[in-house]
Amino acid sequence: MPPALHYTLEATDPNCAARAGTLKLPHGEVQTPIFMPVGTQGTVKTLTQEDLRTINAQIILGNAYHLYLRPGTEILEEAGGLHKFMNWDRPILTDSGGFQVFSLTGLNKVTPEGVQFQSHIDGSKHFFTPEKAIDIQMSIGSDIMMCFDECTSYPATHETAAKSMRMTHDWAAQCKAHWEAKEATERQALFGIVQGSTFEDLRQESAQGLVDLDFPGYAIGGVSVGESKEEMIQAVEWATPHLPVDKPRYLMGVGPPEDLLNAIERGVDMFDCVMPTRNARNGSLFTSEGRINIKNARFKNDFTPLDPACSCPVCTTYTRAYLSHLWRAGEILALRLNTLHNLFFMVSLSVQARTAILEGRFLEFKRAFLEQYST
Amino acid sequence: MPPALHYTLEATDPNCAARAGTLKLPHGEVQTPIFMPVGTQGTVKTLTQEDLRTINAQIILGNAYHLYLRPGTEILEEAGGLHKFMNWDRPILTDSGGFQVFSLTGLNKVTPEGVQFQSHIDGSKHFFTPEKAIDIQMSIGSDIMMCFDECTSYPATHETAAKSMRMTHDWAAQCKAHWEAKEATERQALFGIVQGSTFEDLRQESAQGLVDLDFPGYAIGGVSVGESKEEMIQAVEWATPHLPVDKPRYLMGVGPPEDLLNAIERGVDMFDCVMPTRNARNGSLFTSEGRINIKNARFKNDFTPLDPACSCPVCTTYTRAYLSHLWRAGEILALRLNTLHNLFFMVSLSVQARTAILEGRFLEFKRAFLEQYST
């Protein structure tokens, strides 16, 4: 049996490190670079699986921490995994819950064995080990699992960051051993996560250490917990030269359109971020001419599409005036239409970037996009 | 030019007063009996216009009171009417706002000239006359407008109900005169509303008085403000014998499946009710075997469809376990899927009733439906 993930590098832009590739996964192919909508609790908020097809989502995220607490692994197993539970037949990537047990829960206690934490839902006590994080993701049945990592808090001293990163490496080795022992390598891929905070030597050490462990893919973590845009890009630049060109690279929790393009330029293939969906539910919408907020009074009688350059069902069906009315009237449909548009925008951006890379004009595409986007 | 509404009575069930007919309206045909989803604020809550087509909605409701306050007639006129504003090209019926100015607003003051009330949104003062209610509905551009009426409070003495009903008749005459003077009769139909509370003589007097005024259709009002199911049916039985057979009859604000069928049996053609959508947002769902509440713990690991007998996209795509999870996780998608199903159920019920009438077996259909529904 072949491994669960097969990555083909199709093209590298002649003027930068931007890459176009294809991931073959148990539930289908993913063309990179790709933006992956976040479906934390087994649903991309407000959207059906049919909507996800409409916005051309190729792969979505699930979250081991959230799904472990609700509906729980027992129900997921009884359902036959998350794909069947939510009726989504394309690839799913799951975060291990590392970030959530540190950011969402009270009284968490970290030891080399794992993390003890309290549920943000009912305060119940739980203990996650690297092995348990893999077990949960096996119950979920995601195409790509993530190693359990400690998301180093920001800012961190060099000493704290080094200690945290080395524990993440120990955990990565344990995750890999457990994944192999459970004979899941043909059904689910596993990514290592580069940590090391804002320190060049640590980011390099982390990348090299994980590559020595030999994963099907590598993520760059800890870049969306408070770092500046410059520090995020720095982390990418420090890590990517040490990652193998024949494996996919995933920048976790990024990001706004400009960050996405900056990271693609530096050789990143995969992205996720709650910002497009969270912003949508706050009225903040992407357009080819920059972000707008639909709450603004000037949209009340603006009978043009949200983004005339966009071909999503919202832009081709409704006006800004109607979206403005839905928002003011407190209608749930506002959240749904806003979400659909913002995700369509982000997925399309990654698809357009891919086309530009294949045509060897990524930098030109990026410049033209940002010029119009920042008007 | 022909009038805006043309009703054809196609069949009357041989064993009861149930009728099947067709309404020709400026924005298309409606086959009766029909359940009309309520889109108070220019949106059927949580659903897109595409969803409304999916559930086979033939006509939806708008509300003059709500749309007058938000987005306001100026914006509706600028948009070219509600159909264009919300991008819905099938028929719309608008309630005049009579019910809302009494039920939603503070400090309302009724005089023979009209009703002074305060907006439930910002407390601003407004004055609705019969003419103004027509003007607003003309700005909206609905296929069917309703006369401005006083929704008699419940319970009422005979004296109060009689006085209220007679004022409603004076207003109906004014609405009709204004509608004709504005030359809207070819673009928009106008229905009179039978009142008279729980008194047989008043319901009869009201029906006869409105028929003398000669409207394109007649509604039976004031039956969903506190009356019992028996009183509702009584009001229908008192009014319908006095309504012309060649005009459509609309029972306002009704109702649950059993009430719908009881009223169809007595010759009613059109229905609306917020209950299916409101219940949906509270987890209460219709199935062919009766109502269930998805909050119930037994659905957590029930991997069967919500209603195996239903062909809506929710029942053919998702399980009760998934709907239960979405509800417990507080996901907006739960409200949306629940709404889609409940409305599909109600529209389908009216369509099935129509088929049964055309085949002369309405009573049999009703008996079989209720037998299964109340198991």
Q: What does chain A come to in residues?
A: 375
The full DSSP string for A43-99 is S-TT--HHHHHHTT---EEEEHHHHHHTT-HHHHHHHTSHHHHHT--S-EEEE-SHH
Tell me what the mean pLDDT of segment A66-95 comes to.
98
Contact A274, A282 (CB under 8 A): no
Tokens, residue A67: 């799904």
Q: Is residue A130 part of a domain?
A: yes
B70 contacts A321? CB cut-off 8 A? no
User: Residue A375: pLDDT band by 50, 70, 90 thresholds?
Assistant: low
- Judged by a CB distance cut-off of 8 A, whether residue A301 touches chain B is yes
Q: What is the CA radius of gyration of chain B?
A: 20
Return d(Cα B8, Cα B24) in angstroms, integer.
8
Q: Is residue B203 part of a domain?
A: yes
- Judged by a CB distance cut-off of 8 A, whether residue A43 touches chain B is yes
Per-residue DSSP letter, B185? T
Annotated active-site residue B272? The verdict is: yes
Catalytic residue among A13, A259, A269, A272: A272
- Judged by a CB distance cut-off of 8 A, whether residue B68 touches chain A is no
Average pLDDT across each block of 10 residues of chain B; the chain has 375 residues. List them in order.
94 98 98 98 97 98 97 98 98 94 82 94 95 98 97 92 97 98 97 97 98 98 86 96 98 95 98 97 97 98 98 98 98 98 98 98 98 88
Q: Give the sign of the dihedral formed by CA B238, CA B241, CA B244, CA B250.
A: positive
Q: Is residue A212 part of a domain?
A: yes
Q: Is residue B358 part of a domain?
A: no
Per-position b or e across A296-320, b if 16+ CB within 10 A of its CB:
eeebbbbeebbbeebebbbbeebbb
Q: Is residue A328 part of a domain?
A: no
A70 contacts B332? CB cut-off 8 A? no
B328 contacts A303? CB cut-off 8 A? no
pLDDT above 90: residue A227: no
The per-residue pLDDT for B375 is 65
pLDDT in tens, A12-21: 999 999 999 9
Return d(Cα A168, Cα A162) in angstroms, integer.
10
Q: Is residue A148 part of a domain?
A: yes
**Of the candidates A54, A59, A56, the residue with the CA atom closest to the CA atom of residue A36:** A59
Q: Is residue A333 part of a domain?
A: no
Distance of residue B274 Cα from the nearest chain A Cα, in angstroms? 15
Return d(Cα A324, Cα A326) in angstroms, integer.
6
**Mean pLDDT, rounded, of chain A:** 96
Beta strand pairing call for B28-32 and B19-25: antiparallel
Distance of residue A101 Cα from the nearest chain B Cα, in angstroms? 18
Q: Is residue A186 part of a domain?
A: yes
Q: From A72, which residue of chain B is nearest by alpha-carbon distance?
A: B325
Residue linked to tokens 């006359």: B129
Q: What is the CA radius of gyration of chain A?
A: 20
Return d(Cα B202, Cα B235) in angstroms, integer.
10
B331 → closest Cβ in A45, A313, A319? A45
Return d(Cα A84, Cα A92) in angstroms, integer.
12
Q: At what angle do helices B332-358 and B362-373 cross, to 10 degrees?
A: 150
Q: From A323, which residue of chain B is nearest by alpha-carbon distance?
A: B86
A86 contacts B303? CB cut-off 8 A? no
Sort out which chain A residues have CB atoms less than 8 A from B337's CB and list them: 48
CATH number of the domain enclosing A269: 3.20.20.105
CA angle B224, B229, B234 (to 5 degrees): 90
- Judged by a CB distance cut-off of 8 A, whether residue A316 touches chain B is no
Please tell me the total count of domains within chain A. Answer: 1
Q: What percentage of residues in chain A have a pLDDT greater than 90?
A: 93
Annotated active-site residue A95? The verdict is: yes
Distance of residue B211 Cα from the nearest chain A Cα, in angstroms? 38
- Judged by a CB distance cut-off of 8 A, whether residue B329 touches chain A is yes
**Chains A and B: how many Cβ contacts under 8 Å?**
114
Return d(Cα B326, Cα B344) in angstroms, integer.
20
Decide: helix, strand or coil at residue A374.
coil
Tokens, residue A5: 């993930």
Catalytic residue among A95, A135, A269, A307: A95
Mutate to test the interface with A, among B333, B337, B343 (most CBs of A within 10 A): B333
CA dihedral B75→B78→B84→B86, nearest 10 degrees, is: -20
B45 contacts A317? CB cut-off 8 A? no
- Judged by a CB distance cut-off of 8 A, whether residue A303 touches chain B is yes
Contact A179, A173 (CB under 8 A): no
A198 is in which domain, residue-wise?
6-273
pLDDT in tens, A236-286: 999 999 999 999 999 999 989 999 999 999 999 999 999 999 999 999 999
- Judged by a CB distance cut-off of 8 A, whether residue B67 touches chain A is no
**pTM for this one?**
0.97
Return d(Cα A249, Cα A207) in angstroms, integer.
11
Sort out which chain B residues have CB atoms less than 8 A from A85's CB and list them: 319, 321-322, 325
Catalytic residue among B95, B149, B269, B307: B95
CA dihedral A230→A231→A233→A237, nearest 10 degrees, is: 130
Tokens, residue A259: 């960050």
The beta strands (E) that lie in chain A are given as 6-12, 19-25, 28-32, 34-36, 60-63, 92-95, 106-111, 114-118, 125-128, 144-146, 189-194, 217-220, 249-251, 270-272, 284-285, 292-293
Q: Give the sign of the dihedral formed by CA B228, CA B229, CA B232, CA B238.
A: negative
Distance of residue A96 Cα from the nearest chain B Cα, in angstroms? 19
Q: What does chain B come to in residues?
A: 375
Sort out which chain A residues have CB atoms less than 8 A from B75's CB and list them: 300-301, 321, 325
